[in-house]
């Protein structure tokens, strides 16, 4: 999964979002060593100062823990991970409702549509 950077929003915010997603989906497993700022900056092709800012956000989220001897690791607290997973899911759901509103579905209608479409198993 590569970093995808769009033109119009601050780069560090986009990096933060994509790293959060990587953490909650287990790309970097709970409790494992987290890559260094320089490694991540090189991978994304961005300035290390920008990546540092994203890293600072992950630390204040509690997703990444800085340990004096071990360096940075992904948190092993399942509650912290679950909270972030929930937050990302809620954001996506809100985007769905907003998108449906532009198509003329109010929240109840959009929720009903999701329920009926979600129950379908055939394509």
Partner 1 sequence: MTAPRRRSWPGAREEERMSELVKCTALRRDFGPVKALDGVDLTLDAGRIVGLLGPNGSGKTTLIKILNGLLQPSSGEALVNGCRPGPATKSLISYLPDRGYFPDWMRVSDMIDMFADFYIDFDRRKAEDMCRSLELEPGQRIKSLSKGTKEKMQLMLVMSRQARLYLLDEPIAGVDPAARDFILHTILTNYNEDGTVLISTHLISDVEQVLDEAVFLQKGRVVLHESVDSIRERTGESVDALFREMFRAQAWKEGENHAW
| Closer residue to partner 1, CB minimum distance, 52 or 73 | 52
Token pair listed for 30: 């709970």
CA dihedral defined by 92, 96, 102, 105, rounded to 10 degrees? -150
Report how far apart the first and last C-alpha atoms of the chain are (Å, whole number). 26
Cα–Cα dist 27/21, whole Å: 9
Q: How far is the CB of 49 from partner 1 (least distance, A)?
A: 5
Residue 52 in the binding site for partner 1 (CB under 8 A): yes
Shortest reach from residue 8's CB to partner 1, in Å: 5
Gap between the Cα atoms of 34 and 77, Å rounded: 15
Question: Is residue 53 at the binding interface for partner 1, with CB under 8 A as the rule?
Answer: yes
Q: Which stretch, 17-25, 48-56, 94-102, 113-121, contacts partner 1 (CB under 8 A)?
A: 48-56
The contact set with partner 1 (CB under 8 A) reads: 5, 7-12, 37-38, 41-42, 44-50, 52-53
């Amino acid at each position: 999964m590569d970093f995808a950077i769009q033109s119009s929003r601050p780069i560090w915010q986009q990096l933060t979002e994509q790293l959060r997603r990587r953490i909650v989906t287990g790309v970097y497993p709970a409790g494992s060593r987290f890559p260094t700022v320089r490694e991540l900056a090189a991978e994304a092709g961005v300035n290390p100062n920008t990546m540092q800012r994203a890293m600072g956000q992950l630390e204040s989220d509690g997703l990444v823990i800085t340990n004096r001897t071990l360096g940075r690791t992904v948190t092993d607290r399942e509650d912290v991970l679950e909270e972030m997973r929930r937050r990302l899911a809620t954001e996506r759901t809100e985007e769905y409702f907003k998108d449906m509103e532009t198509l003329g579905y109010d929240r109840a209608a959009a929720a009903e549509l999701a329920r009926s479409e979600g129950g379908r198993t055939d394509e």
